[in-house]
């Protein structure tokens, strides 16, 4: 092969590598702060349900948990729990949630069907953060001042084991396969690795000063890492999940307090408490994507299961801030055996694919032309015209539909009523008086309850749907 051909091929692969890296970053596009919703005083912990319907926010100074509807982006309930709640997690089964109450030394069990507190589980010490095993059978809670992790059997709702870890355990995360747990020991500059099957520490790893938060790459991610925030070093330490080897140190802003990843494992959110900002990084290539300024006191972040938004608790503003994660409109080429391309044909990288993987997918000439696909977000439904007009009470402003699609619940703001509409018959079948100035409505995932937020009377009306489901 001539030197010219070698040069041309070398330049091609160089350009391909640059383009793939650019495409990987472009796949994230524009995370954007869209709104802040008021919750209780000093919101701290935040957790999404695995189906994405709800987020729970602990309000440490109000001793309450705010239930946020992802459909309306509003608070649909406030649940009284223990004293100074911090950590919160919804069980994968979706039937219940645990809330750690640091000042009362217990964990509150919440019924997710009725959105009420069922009981308190004594732990002692200072329970802080919580994770569940994938089968919802066990919960692991960091107990900061007892220097241990408490294991709760969720059938017995009792502590069955206390695992000794490092000094002042704070952050906790469980691997997607449920086999290992990582605990950050904020006072000991280390992480403890727990084997779930034996409830025992298998290794302690030294990390940066004051490690505060940890997150695993999701199961569908192109890499298998976990990410640890070092509050005093202003860095994110990236480790290999298999052998716990250090992969990378990412420099970030001051006092990173929380980390979370998108479901595809490609984008890393970092809350920087002192700088009042959220910094966003490519979780595979580690380049900076964007910095979003926040109100004073951002503390924790969680990403919705569908990857559409991140929710950040902001302590001093008594609010939860939504960051919308816009889907890309870029058209990607499928590369690989299913749609090979010829050498010299410009291609874009699949998000998350390394340059080596992309180069390996390129085949010899005479291959079929590449097949291009556009993201589903490009689909625009066609208009279909008006079907019916149904008159309700005065000032209809928000609605929710039952999971079976049979009934529409509409709040009438000026009339302070709720209208239930039979969709098949296009008629109001029942009108229910609610509180003053209702502003939001939500139906539980099982369809058995309707929740109406009454802004004018500071109440939530809970209605059994009965025959209207």
Instruction: List, in order, residues 6 or more apart from 382 with CB less than 8 Å away.
Output: none
Considering the domain boundaries, does residue 210 fall inside one? Answer: yes
SS3 state of residue 422: strand
Question: Do residue 78 and residue 93 come from a single domain?
Answer: yes
Q: Where does a domain end: 325, 358, 382? A: 325
Considering the domain boundaries, does residue 380 fall inside one? Answer: no
Q: How far apart, in whole angstroms, are the C-alpha atoms of residue 334 and residue 361?
A: 10
Q: How far apart, in whole angstroms, are the C-alpha atoms of residue 403 and residue 405?
A: 5
372-377, long-range: CB < 8 A, 24+ apart = 372/331, 372/332, 372/333, 372/334, 373/331, 373/332, 373/334, 374/329, 374/331, 375/327, 375/328, 375/329, 375/330, 377/327, 377/328, 377/329
pLDDT (0 to 100) of residue 327: 55
Considering the domain boundaries, does residue 381 fall inside one? Answer: no
CB crowding 263-284: b at 16 or more within 10 Å, else e: bbbbbbbbbbbebbbbbbbbbb
Question: Do residue 285 and residue 350 come from a single domain?
Answer: no
Q: Taken in order 162, 163, 168, 172, is the CA torsion positive or negative? A: negative
Residues in the chain: 469
Question: Do residue 182 and residue 108 come from a single domain?
Answer: yes
SS3 state of residue 20: helix
Mean of the per-residue pLDDT values for the chain? Answer: 82
Question: Do residue 343 and residue 300 come from a single domain?
Answer: no
Question: Do residue 321 and residue 339 come from a single domain?
Answer: no
Cα 12 to Cα 15, 17, 89, 150, 347, distances in angstroms: 5, 9, 48, 55, 11
Going by the DSSP 8-state scheme, the letter that residue 377 receives in this structure is G
pLDDT (0 to 100) of residue 30: 62
Per-residue pLDDT in tens (0 to 9) along the chain, 469 residues: 555 444 444 444 444 444 444 444 444 456 888 888 999 999 999 999 999 899 999 999 999 999 999 888 889 999 999 999 999 999 999 999 999 999 999 999 999 989 999 999 999 999 999 999 999 999 999 999 999 999 999 999 999 999 999 999 999 999 999 999 999 999 989 999 999 999 999 999 999 999 999 999 999 899 999 999 998 899 999 999 999 999 999 999 999 999 999 999 999 999 999 999 999 999 999 999 999 999 889 999 999 998 889 999 999 889 999 998 865 433 333 323 333 333 333 333 333 444 444 444 333 333 333 333 333 333 333 334 445 677 778 888 878 888 888 888 999 888 899 999 888 777 889 999 998 888 889 898 888 889 998 888 888 888 888 888 8
Question: Do residue 250 and residue 365 come from a single domain?
Answer: no
Query: By C-alpha distance, which of 130, 134, 62, 136 is closest to 95?
Result: 136
Considering the domain boundaries, does residue 195 fall inside one? Answer: yes
Contact indicator for 407, 469 with CB cutoff of 8 Å = yes
Cα 363 to Cα 296, 359, 380, distances in angstroms: 53, 9, 35
Q: Tokens for 289?
A: 């994507």
The pTM assigned to this predicted structure is 0.67
Considering the domain boundaries, does residue 34 fall inside one? Answer: yes
CA atoms within 13 A on the CB side of 288: 11
CB-based burial label for 228 (10 Å; 0-12, 13-18, 19+): buried
pLDDT (0 to 100) of residue 272: 95
Q: Which H or E run contains 344?
A: none
Considering the domain boundaries, does residue 369 fall inside one? Answer: yes
SS3 state of residue 81: coil
Is beta strand 256-261 parallel, antiparallel or unpaired with respect to 267-272? Answer: antiparallel
Considering the domain boundaries, does residue 272 fall inside one? Answer: yes
Question: Do residue 187 and residue 304 come from a single domain?
Answer: yes
Is beta strand 148-153 parallel, antiparallel or unpaired with respect to 417-422? Answer: unpaired
pLDDT (0 to 100) of residue 378: 33
Measured in degrees and rounded to the nearest 5, phi and psi for residue 333 equal: -95, 135
Measured in degrees and rounded to the nearest 5, phi and psi for residue 361 equal: -85, -10
Is beta strand 427-433 parallel, antiparallel or unpaired with respect to 298-303? Answer: unpaired
Range of the domain at 362: 3-23+329-374
Helices and strands per DSSP (H, E), number in the chain: 2, 37
Q: How far apart, in whole angstroms, are the C-alpha atoms of residue 108 and residue 211?
A: 26
Question: Do residue 47 and residue 170 come from a single domain?
Answer: yes
Question: Do residue 307 and residue 249 come from a single domain?
Answer: yes
Contact indicator for 65, 79 with CB cutoff of 8 Å = yes
SS3 state of residue 357: helix
Question: Do residue 93 and residue 143 come from a single domain?
Answer: yes
How many separate domains does the chain show?
3
Q: How far apart, in whole angstroms, are the C-alpha atoms of residue 322 and residue 167?
A: 33
Q: How far apart, in whole angstroms, are the C-alpha atoms of residue 36 and residue 321?
A: 4
Q: What's 420's domain CATH number?
A: 2.40.10
Cα 253 to Cα 250, 270, 301, 457, distances in angstroms: 10, 9, 15, 42
Q: What's 268's domain CATH number?
A: 2.130.10.10
- Within 10 angstroms of residue 342's Cβ, the number of other Cβ atoms is 15
Considering the domain boundaries, does residue 164 fall inside one? Answer: yes
Question: Do residue 301 and residue 341 come from a single domain?
Answer: no
Q: Where does a domain end: 292, 325, 358? A: 325
Question: Do residue 276 and residue 402 come from a single domain?
Answer: no
């Amino acid at each position: 092969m001539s030197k010219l051909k070698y040069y041309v091929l070398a330049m091609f692969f160089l350009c391909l590598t640059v383009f793939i890296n650019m495409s990987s970053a472009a796949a994230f596009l524009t995370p954007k702060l869209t709104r802040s919703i008021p919750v209780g005083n000093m919101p701290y912990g935040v957790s999404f349900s695995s189906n994405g319907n709800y987020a729970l926010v602990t309000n440490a100074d109000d001793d309450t948990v705010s239930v946020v509807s992802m459909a309306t982006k509003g608070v649909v309930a406030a649940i009284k729990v223990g004293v100074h709640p911090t950590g919160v997690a919804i069980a994968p089964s979706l039937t219940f949630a645990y809330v750690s109450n640091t000042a009362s030394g217990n964990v509150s069990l919440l019924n997710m069907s009725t959105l009420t507190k069922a009981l308190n589980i004594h732990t002692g010490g200072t329970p802080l953060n919580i994770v569940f095993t994938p089968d919802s059978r066990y919960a692991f809670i960091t107990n900061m001042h007892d220097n241990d992790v408490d294991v709760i059997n969720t059938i017995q709702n009792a502590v069955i084991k206390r695992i000794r870890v490092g000094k002042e355990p704070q952050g906790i995360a469980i691997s997607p396969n449920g086999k290992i747990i990582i605990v950050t020991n904020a006072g000991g500059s280390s992480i403890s690795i727990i084997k779930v099957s034996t409830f025992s520490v298998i290794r302690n790893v030294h990390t940066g000063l004051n490690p505060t938060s940890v997150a695993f790459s999701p199961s569908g991610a192109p890499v298998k890492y976990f990410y640890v925030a070092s509050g005093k070093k202003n860095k994110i330490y990236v480790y290999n999940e298999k052998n716990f080897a250090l992969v990378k140190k990412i420099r970030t802003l001051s006092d990173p307090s929380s980390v979370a990843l998108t479901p595809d494992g490609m984008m890393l959110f970092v809350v920087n408490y002192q700088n009042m900002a959220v910094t966003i990084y490519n979780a595979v290539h580690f380049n900076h994507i964007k910095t979003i300024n926040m109100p004073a006191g951002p503390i924790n972040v969680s990403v919705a299961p569908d990857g559409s938004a991140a929710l950040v608790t902001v302590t001093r503003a008594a609010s939860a801030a939504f960051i919308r994660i816009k889907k890309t409109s870029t058209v990607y080429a499928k590369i690989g055996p299913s749609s090979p391309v010829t050498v010299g044909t410009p291609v874009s990288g699949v998000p998350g694919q390394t340059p080596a993987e992309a180069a390996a997918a390129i085949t010899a000439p005479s291959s079929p032309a590449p097949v291009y696909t556009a993201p589903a977000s490009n689909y625009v439904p066609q208009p279909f015209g008006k079907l019916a007009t149904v008159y309700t009470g005065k000032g209809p402003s928000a609605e929710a539909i039952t999971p079976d699609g049979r009934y529409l619940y509409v709040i009438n703001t000026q009339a302070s009523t709720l209208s239930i509409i039979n969709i098949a018959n296009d008629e109001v079948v029942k009108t229910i008086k609610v509180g003053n100035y209702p502003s939001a409505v939500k139906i539980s995932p099982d369809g058995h309850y309707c929740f109406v937020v009454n802004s004018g009377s500071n109440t939530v009306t809970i209605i059994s749907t009965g025959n209207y489901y």
